[in-house]
């Protein structure tokens, strides 16, 4: 095998690429002091461009990616040989062989690998061999004769082609490389005559080594060549080597891989059998024991600052059920059992080859007749049966409960999740059709706080005159009209109405199933909802809770402060903070203003792609970039005046004219009938226009204008496939490194131009690889990852491509590189993809490597955010892949579909001359930053809620729409305290640079990874290649 620097990256030894950029940064910062913080992340394209642009402006530096970069920059940084030696000594002192080196030793034990040639100085192969039944024969410049001896069985020849700092002087400058000893060169050429060579982790950078390989493979011989590249990019020097080998009738292939460790794991699992293969699996599954702890969430005692009323009611479900087998099963057991039990006095569901049922035993026997296999058994129901929200027993209880409620004369049900009043309270017309509006509620069962809860979420049912459902587009439009602005008072009133309809008694209400049958299957429901007490550390008046209300408080929480953002001061010499992103920009300068102040990036150049018909309209609009815009009255509680691009961001925005090279006129598609062909034609017209524009002008950002009349080109969908113009163009441009911004005609004629200009200006600044703000509140030793997945729903069940995206964020909330990877063995649960152990381990390893590439060290803590649960093997794979990281938090985060809370305010009422303290619904929703613990490892978090307005004393609720949904945060692994986790989520929800809003409803880790996976599925290739996420924005 021939190993390059890439083989040792997972062993925490920087690659040649990392070393070069680290040396470039040292030179840059030496000449530009004060920019250390802005240039801390070397994987960011903006950082690389800033450094490279400065180097290009100086004299005497080599061109980007030229072969002489390595030798030039190490000599520039360390002109003294002794200092070079010390640099590498420090770099590899604490390096430990990662599992790829260990697997190489297993291959050597059975004689598959007999020699290992390397350009590295780390000696990791020899280090790893100490724990295996092989003897490493180390060969350097002072022991060249060893390279010619034939290794005996149990020996592994380890040849350092550039010497080794323990024995020889380092051979790492260009002059020294060219003077490599002829003895080692001859030995390698001789070895490759008959031996197969696998190259991995090596870029082909060194001219002398590549010359040696070309000499070896220009001769006839039996030895084959397999060049394992990182991804599918082949350099010119490698391509030429393969061509030379094939011309000499040698077997030579390029193999696209995911790196050294992954390649070795696949090789060993394929080549080794029986107990040796099991040894490989055990090595790969070496648990990260330090990270398997899963501490409970804790909330300390503190003053009550808020009281919240939920829509959840304590419920006791029947303690047993019937279970029996069947002699034969239909093709669709769920729907068959639902139809069979309709209008009967029992409900039934399938479970692991059995039927679970509750109801009248005689009716069950009558309906199933001779299909019952064996006897019908009574089986106890445990708490664990009901903790799974979408579980079988939970579904059985919910169906029975819906039937109980429907026995009330005024209530109907769909037998799935919905109940509604039988008489409509309102009639509306939509598209000439009478629509009957019924008060309704979505019913669900949850288990939290140690007990089961019935959850009622008020809504409406929209039916025709015969009580049948209307088309989904009709119901969606009317629901938005009716419920879109349903705030606390209306929500509370709807809850009171349903309580009066369903619960006739105060305290506990009992319901038999079947109703009034005297059955032992009983539901007991408390008529009062559960309350939550939210603690506060702020000074001020606390809320006094009387003894009558205290028994209903089942949950406790705390309010977490709004995280601050970091900006530059006006001079670019220091950093300042503000919780409000737009106010921070307007009053200060962007976070990376130091680059502008030093003239490193003096302006942002815009390119435009636009149909000719709209060119004058668009250029007139874009020239307003430096104009001032005031917010509408309805937006004054959040938006501040847009001061113009130059005033907001401290540099000019270069707008082209229609006859400039920076403006490309996009031809009209000739296809006018909506079809996939027409959409593809429009997309190709846009991409060709972008190509010509970038070739002529090299803009920082390309604005793509989409007129209204192109609406039918935007999207196409049928039962076989779908197409989206936006995603197609984005995917095309991402692979070319082109940042794009779509701008629609309806946007430029909007009456909210202050909001529009803030959004457009911010997007242009961020997409030009600049940083408008950063976070100050995150753990400085932590790193954050969002895991997202994309599934091709249009493919057959066995052909679906599942794409996983791991998107990394640093401790300042900045999105770093991300990596897309095909999930080879996806596990589908409830139509959601999960990873097998092997897939999860590979994702964990790629996360680990990306972090190391970013900072040349591993973080002490990694936090992973994912919208779905972590299966056992998925969790173990991630932990094993993140080996060496001491603290790992695996968090499941998703929006709760049913639970809603109403914020209460304490009021004093005068009744018969006496003053009483009572509670009434607040005019505003739950405060953003509120967290309520609902079980040991689950909590509700409000990322969306009321916060402080830019106007002193005012409150601001983003969107001003219905009751905000909390996030459910579930910990699967980790020890971090709950308030820290919530503070991190709140901070990351403010890191969407493609929005003028104060925050997003989800943290950026979740939002970006989901969006990247969706668009990334359209890339022509994916794998180990990393991209800057701003290209996806």
CATH number, residue 182: 3.40.50
Please check whether residue 911 lies inside any domain of the structure: no
59 and 140 housed in the same domain: no
DSSP letter assigned to residue 397: H
pLDDT tens, residue by residue, 555-590: 999 999 999 999 999 998 899 999 999 999 999 999
Please check whether residue 848 lies inside any domain of the structure: yes
Enumerate residues 6+ apart whose C-beta is below 8 A from 690.
607, 609, 664, 702, 704, 729, 732, 733, 738, 740
Please check whether residue 535 lies inside any domain of the structure: no
Q: Return the CATH number at 724.
A: 3.40.50.2300
Both structure tokens of 847 = 């996360």
Q: How far apart are CA 945 and CA 930, in angstroms?
A: 9
Q: How far apart are CA 324 and CA 376, in angstroms?
A: 5
Q: Which of 64, 211, 288, 166 is nearest to 841 (CA)?
A: 288
Q: What is the pLDDT of residue 361?
A: 93
Domain-ending residue, one of 92, 108, 143: 92
Q: How far apart are CA 713 and CA 696, in angstroms?
A: 27
Q: How far, in whole angstroms, is CA 780 from its chain's centroid?
A: 20
661 and 734 housed in the same domain: yes
88 and 104 housed in the same domain: no
Q: How far, in whole angstroms, is CA 397 from its chain's centroid?
A: 35
Please check whether residue 304 lies inside any domain of the structure: no
Q: What is the pLDDT of residue 798?
A: 56
689 and 570 housed in the same domain: yes
**DSSP character string of 852-893:** HHHHSS--SEEEEEESS---HHHHHHHHHHTTT-SEEEEEEE
122 and 62 housed in the same domain: no
Please check whether residue 833 lies inside any domain of the structure: yes
Both structure tokens of 162 = 């550039």
Please check whether residue 550 lies inside any domain of the structure: no
267 and 342 housed in the same domain: no
pLDDT tens, residue by residue, 171-180: 555 555 445 5
800 and 756 housed in the same domain: no
Q: How far apart are CA 945 and CA 308, in angstroms?
A: 13
Q: What is the pLDDT of residue 197?
A: 97
Contact by Cβ (8 Å): 423, 412: no
Q: What is the pLDDT of residue 167?
A: 33
| Helical residues (DSSP H) of 461-526, grouped into ranges | 472-483, 488-502
Q: Which structural domain, as residue segments, surrounds residue 406?
A: 312-526
Q: How far apart are CA 215 and CA 995, in angstroms?
A: 57
Contact by Cβ (8 Å): 7, 260: yes
797 and 744 housed in the same domain: no
Low-confidence ranges of the chain (pLDDT < 70): 141-150, 162-181, 286-291, 793-803, 816-817, 908, 913, 915-917, 1020-1026
Kindly tell me the number of DSSP H helices and DSSP E strands found in the chain: 31, 47
Contact by Cβ (8 Å): 565, 589: no
Please check whether residue 450 lies inside any domain of the structure: yes
Q: What is the pLDDT of residue 671?
A: 77
The number of folded domains in the chain is: 5
Q: What is the pLDDT of residue 800?
A: 56
159 and 266 housed in the same domain: yes
Question: What are the angstrom distances between the C-alpha of 801 and each of 124, 715, 792, 830, 1018?
Answer: 37, 21, 6, 17, 11
pLDDT tens, residue by residue, 700-734: 999 999 999 998 899 888 877 788 899 999 989 98
Enumerate residues 6+ apart whose C-beta is below 8 A from 501.
408, 410, 411, 421
Please check whether residue 962 lies inside any domain of the structure: no
Both structure tokens of 180 = 């490599």
List beta partners, residue 373. Answer: 325
Q: CA-CA-CA-CA torsion for 1018, 1020, 1026, 1031, nearest 10 degrees?
A: -50
146 and 249 housed in the same domain: yes
Question: What are the angstrom distances between the C-alpha of 1002 and each of 267, 1006, 1010, 1030?
Answer: 41, 7, 11, 18
**DSSP character string of 239-294:** HHHHHHHHHTT--EEEEEES-HHHHHHHHHHHH--HHHHHHHHHHHT---GGG--B
Q: What is the pLDDT of residue 355?
A: 94
Domain-ending residue, one of 92, 123, 158: 92
Burial class (CB in 10 A: 0-12, 13-18, 19+), 259: buried
256 and 340 housed in the same domain: no
Q: Return the CATH number at 833.
A: 3.30.420.10
Q: How far apart are CA 570 and CA 577, in angstroms?
A: 13
Q: How far apart are CA 361 and CA 376, in angstroms?
A: 9
Domain-ending residue, one of 747, 774, 801: 774
581 and 708 housed in the same domain: yes
Q: Which of 997, 992, 996 is nearest to 1007 (CA)?
A: 992
């Amino acid at each position: 095998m021939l190993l390059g620097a890439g083989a040792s990256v997972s062993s925490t030894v920087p690659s040649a690429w990392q070393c070069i950029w680290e040396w470039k940064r040292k030179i840059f910062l030496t000449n530009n002091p004060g920019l250390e913080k802005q240039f801390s992340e070397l994987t960011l394209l903006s950082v690389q461009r800033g450094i490279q642009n400065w180097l290009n402006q100086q004299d005497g530096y080599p061109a980007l990616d030229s072969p002489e970069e390595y030798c030039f920059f190490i000599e520039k940084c360390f002109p003294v040989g002794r200092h070079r030696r010390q640099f590498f000594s420090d770099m590899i002192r604490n390096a430990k062989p990662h599992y790829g080196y260990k697997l190489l030793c297993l291959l050597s034990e059975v004689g598959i690998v007999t020699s290992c040639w390397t350009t590295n100085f780390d000696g990791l192969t020899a280090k790893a061999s100490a724990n295996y039944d092989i003897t490493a024969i180390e060969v350097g410049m002072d022991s060249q004769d060893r390279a010619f001896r034939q290794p005996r069985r149990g020996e592994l020849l380890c040849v350092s082609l550039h010497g080794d700092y323990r024995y020889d002087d380092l051979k790492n400058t260009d002059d020294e490389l060219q003077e490599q000893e002829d003895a080692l060169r001859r030995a390698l050429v001789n070895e490759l005559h008959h031996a197969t060579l696998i190259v991995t982790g090596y870029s082909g950078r060194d001219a002398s080594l590549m010359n040696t390989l070309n000499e070896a493979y220009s001769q006839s011989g039996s030895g084959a060549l397999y060049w394992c590249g990182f991804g599918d990019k082949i350099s010119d020097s490698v391509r030429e080597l393969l061509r030379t080998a094939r011309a000499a009738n040698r077997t030579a292939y390029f193999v696209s891989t995911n790196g050294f460790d992954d390649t070795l794991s696949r090789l060993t699992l394929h080549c080794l059998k029986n107990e040796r293969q099991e040894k490989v699996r055990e090595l790969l599954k070496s648990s990260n024991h330090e990270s398997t702890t899963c501490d409970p969430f804790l909330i300390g005692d503190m003053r009550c600052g808020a009281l919240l009323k939920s829509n959840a009611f304590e419920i006791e479900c029947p303690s047993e059920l019937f279970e029996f087998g069947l002699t034969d099963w239909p093709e669709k057991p769920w729907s068959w059992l639902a139809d069979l039990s309709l209008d009967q006095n029992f409900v039934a569901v399938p479970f692991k080859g059995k039927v679970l049922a509750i109801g009248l035993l005689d009716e069950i026997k009558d309906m199933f007749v001779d299909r019952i296999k064996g006897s019908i058994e009574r089986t106890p129901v445990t708490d664990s049966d009901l903790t799974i929200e979408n579980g079988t027993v939970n579904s059985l209880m919910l169906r029975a409960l819906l039937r109980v409620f429907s026995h009330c004369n005024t209530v109907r049900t769909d037998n799935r999740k919905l109940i509604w009043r039988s008489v409509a309270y309102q009639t509306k017309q939509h598209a000439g059709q009478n629509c009957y509006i019924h008060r309704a509620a979505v019913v669900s069962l949850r288990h939290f706080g140690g007990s089961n809860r019935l959850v009622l979420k008020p809504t409406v049912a929209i039916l025709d005159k015969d009580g049948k459902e209307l088309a989904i587009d009709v119901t969606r439009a009317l629901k938005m009209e009716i419920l879109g602005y349903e705030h606390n008072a209306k929500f509370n009133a709807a809850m009171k109405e349903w309580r009066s309809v369903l619960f006739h008694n105060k305290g506990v209400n009992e319901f038999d199933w079947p109703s009034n049958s005297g059955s032992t299957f009983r539901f007991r429901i408390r008529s009062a909802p559960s309350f939550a007490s939210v603690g506060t550390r702020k000074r001020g008046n606390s809320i006094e809770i009387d003894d009558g209300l205290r028994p209903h408080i089942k949950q406790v929480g705390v309010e977490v402060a709004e995280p601050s953002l970091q900006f530059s001061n006006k001079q670019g010499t220091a950093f300042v903070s503000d919780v409000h992103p737009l106010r921070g920009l307007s009053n200060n300068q962007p976070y990376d203003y130091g680059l502008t102040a030093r003239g490193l990036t003096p302006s942002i150049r815009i390119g435009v792609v636009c149909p000719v018909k709209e060119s004058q309209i668009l250029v007139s609009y874009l020239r307003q970039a430096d104009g001032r815009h005031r917010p509408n009255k309805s937006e004054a509680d959040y938006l501040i005046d847009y001061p113009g691009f130059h005033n907001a961001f401290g540099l000019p925005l270069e707008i082209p004219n229609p006859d400039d090279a920076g403006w490309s006129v996009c031809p009209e598609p000739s296809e006018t009938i909506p079809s996939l062909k027409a959409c593809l034609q429009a997309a190709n017209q846009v991409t060709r226009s972008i190509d010509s524009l970038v070739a002529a002008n090299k803009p920082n950002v390309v604005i793509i204008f989409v007129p209204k009349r192109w609406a039918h080109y935007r999207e196409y969908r049928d039962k076989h496939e779908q197409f989206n113009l936006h995603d197609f163009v984005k995917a095309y441009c991402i692979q070319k490194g082109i940042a794009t911004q779509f701008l629609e005609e309806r946007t430029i004629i909007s009456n909210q131009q202050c909001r529009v200009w803030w959004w457009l200006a911010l997007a242009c600044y961020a997409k030009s690889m600049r940083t408008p703000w950063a976070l100050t509140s995150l753990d400085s030793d932590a790193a954050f990852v969002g895991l997202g997945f994309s599934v091709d729903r249009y493919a057959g069940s066995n052909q679906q491509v599942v794409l996983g995206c791991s998107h990394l964020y640093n401790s300042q909330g900045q999105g770093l590189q991300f990596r897309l990877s095909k999930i080879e063995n996806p596990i589908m649960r409830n139509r959601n993809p999960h990873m097998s152990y092997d897939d999860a381990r590979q994702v964990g390893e790629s996360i680990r490597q990306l972090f190391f590439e970013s900072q040349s060290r591993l973080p002490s803590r990694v936090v992973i955010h994912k919208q779905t649960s972590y299966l056992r093997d998925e969790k173990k794979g991630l932990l094993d892949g993140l080996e060496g990281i001491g603290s790992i938090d695996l968090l499941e985060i998703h929006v709760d579909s049913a639970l809603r809370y109403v914020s209460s305010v304490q009021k004093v009422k005068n009744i018969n001359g006496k003053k009483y303290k009572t509670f009434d619904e607040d005019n505003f929703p739950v405060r953003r930053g509120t967290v309520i613990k609902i079980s040991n490892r689950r909590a509700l978090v409000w990322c969306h809620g009321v916060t402080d307005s830019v106007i002193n004393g005012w409150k601001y609720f983003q969107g001003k729409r219905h009751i905000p949904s909390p996030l459910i945060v579930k910990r699967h692994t980790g020890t971090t305290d709950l308030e820290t986790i919530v503070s991190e989520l709140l901070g990351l929800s403010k890191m969407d640079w493609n929005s003028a809003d104060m925050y997003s409803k989800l943290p950026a880790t979740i939002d970006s990874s989901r969006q990247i996976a969706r668009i990334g599925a359209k890339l022509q290739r994916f794998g180990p290649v990393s991209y800057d996420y701003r290209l996806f924005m």
